Amino acid sequence: MANYVDVLDDVFTALSDPTRRAVVRRLGAGDASVGELVEGTSMALPSFLKHIHALERSGLVHTSKPGRVRTCSLRRERLAVVDDWLGEQRRVWEQRTDRLKALAATPANEQK
């Protein structure tokens, strides 16, 4: 369970930055080189690479450099951790809402 929490923390930390979220959004459409990704920003390459490294550390992005070009790919399975967590939270709140609705529907003399 601690590993799950650590992974979740890493992914949320990586997604907390708008530049990194934009990279994840772009990579959702397919692999891209670092050069292609940096084109959409006003950042210098060294600054942008820090964001790529943060995404790599979180496991959201994998990079490879078979030649001169570094290519980034999205690791979608890592996003599943966030989806699972959100699903858990959704179930908890739906159960609470269901209990509140049931309580509200119960006549006051039956609640005691």
- Write out pLDDT tens, residues 45-80: 999 999 999 999 999 999 999 899 999 999 999 999
Confidence at residue 111, expressed as pLDDT on a 0 to 100 scale: 59
The arrangement of secondary structure in 2-110, i.e. its CATH architecture, is: Orthogonal Bundle (1.10)
Does position 16 have pLDDT exceeding 80, yes or no? Answer: yes
Q: How far is residue 74's CA from residue 30's CA, in Å, rounded to a whole number? A: 8
Confidence at residue 109, expressed as pLDDT on a 0 to 100 scale: 65
- Residue 1 banded pLDDT, cuts 50, 70, 90: very low
Residue length, the chain? Answer: 112
Give the long-range contacts of residues 31-34, CB within 8 A, separation 24 or more.
31/71, 31/72, 31/73, 31/74, 32/71, 32/72, 33/69, 33/70, 33/71, 33/72, 34/63, 34/69, 34/70, 34/71, 34/72
